Structures are given as structure tokens and as C-alpha cells.
Homo-oligomer: A and B are copies of this chain.
Amino acid sequence: MDFKTDFKPLTTQPQEIEDKSFQIITDELGPHPFTEEQYPVVQRVIHASADFELGRSLVFHPKAIEAGIASIRSGEKIVADVQMVQVGISKDRIRKYGGGVHVYISDPDVVEEAKRLNTTRAIISMRKAAREAEGGIYAIGNAPTALLELIRMVKEGLAKPSLIIGMPVGFVSAAESKDELRRLDVPFITNIGRKGGSTIVVAAVNALSLLADKRN
């Protein structure tokens, strides 16, 4: 293909850009309460949001990092609440261990069932995910209703996730769903407040798969 190539180069080395960004984040964040293995997750969340307040608001279950690494290295599935989370996750490092990233929210049976029950597709998609397999990482960036449903299923013994990454964004039930998650005795990564979103959850998953890779 005949591309125009008569342009002066910008700062265009992807690795260089990322390294420089991470250095700025570390410098500006200063002292923080996170462990050495939690910090890469925080760093990538700040990288994806340019929001230090959001980064500082992250809360980790004590076993979250280990559980996430073990889940990825065992090839367990990752369940995304929405397609934006699904496409954002770096697949190579997941597939290497036999895993994959699944999203059920647009499955015809999920759409149909949500209509029938007059509820959200997000809720029904979590029920389907929990039925399909035990374990796995649930990455929820968009729908508080999905997170609340997952929490309820965990409490009732109907879902057994290895790790819940729950950071839905929003004004109705988002902060409350995360408050609920923090009370759960299941490995979780979440944040305090309304902020979050697909890009934030993607950043956390990608940080975890990089940590999983470093164990080699």
C-alpha cells in the first residue's frame, strides 16, 4: 500500500512513550500504601485515566494479586461485562496459558431472557457466565447491576470466581456495588466511589497478565 511517508517523525516509539509515562506517574504519585505487586495495577489504572485520585482509591483484597496471577496461569477464563472490556484486554498473554476472554451480554439467549424477565442483559450475562464454569476472573467495568448480581451469586454459592475486578462507573448503584464487593470474602480489586469504567478494568487485567508473565 502506498502510504504517505513524507512526514517528520513525532515521539513515536511506543515502549519509550510508555516508559516515560510510567516514570511521570511514579514521580507525581509519590508515597502510596500499595505493595510491590499491587503497584503495577495502580500504575496502569492511572496510565489509562490520568486520574491520580482514582488510582489512590483502589482497594485490594489481600489475596487479589496472587489469585489473579494463579487464575491466568491456570488458563481460567476471563469474563468481561461488556465488549469494550473484552476487546481491550491483551489476548496474547491470556491465550498463552490456555485462557480466553468471554462476554455474554449480546448472546441471543441472554438478550431474550433479559426481555422476558424485564431486567438488564448485564445481570443475565453474569448468570450465564457462572453456569458455564467455576473460577475465572470477572472483569466488570460498566454495569453495577452485573456486579451486584455476581456478589449475590457468590453469597448464595452459585458463583465461585477466582478474582472479581469490579470497577463499574456511574451514578446509580456504582459506588454502592463496590461497597458491597469490599465486604465480600473473595479476592477482589475495586475502588471507592463512582469512578471506574471499561478502560480502567482493562488496565487492571493487563497489569495482572504482565505480572503472571514475570513469574516465568
Contacts and interface: CB of A to CB of B under 8 A. Distances in A.
A159 to B, nearest CB: 10
B145 A4 contact: no
A interface residue count range (under 10 / 10 to 19 / 20 to 34 / 35 or more) = 35 or more
Contact of A173 (B11, B170, B195): B11
B5 A172 contact: no
Contacts of A124: 3
Contacts of A1: 109, 113, 128
Interface of A: 1, 3-5, 7, 9-14, 17, 20-21, 24-25, 47-51, 83-84, 86-88, 109, 113, 117-120, 123-124, 127-128, 131, 145, 148-149, 152-153, 158, 169-174, 193-199, 202
Contacts of A49: 169, 195, 197
A177 to B, nearest CB: 9
Contact of A171 (B50, B123, B170, B173): B50
A1 B17 CA distance: 47
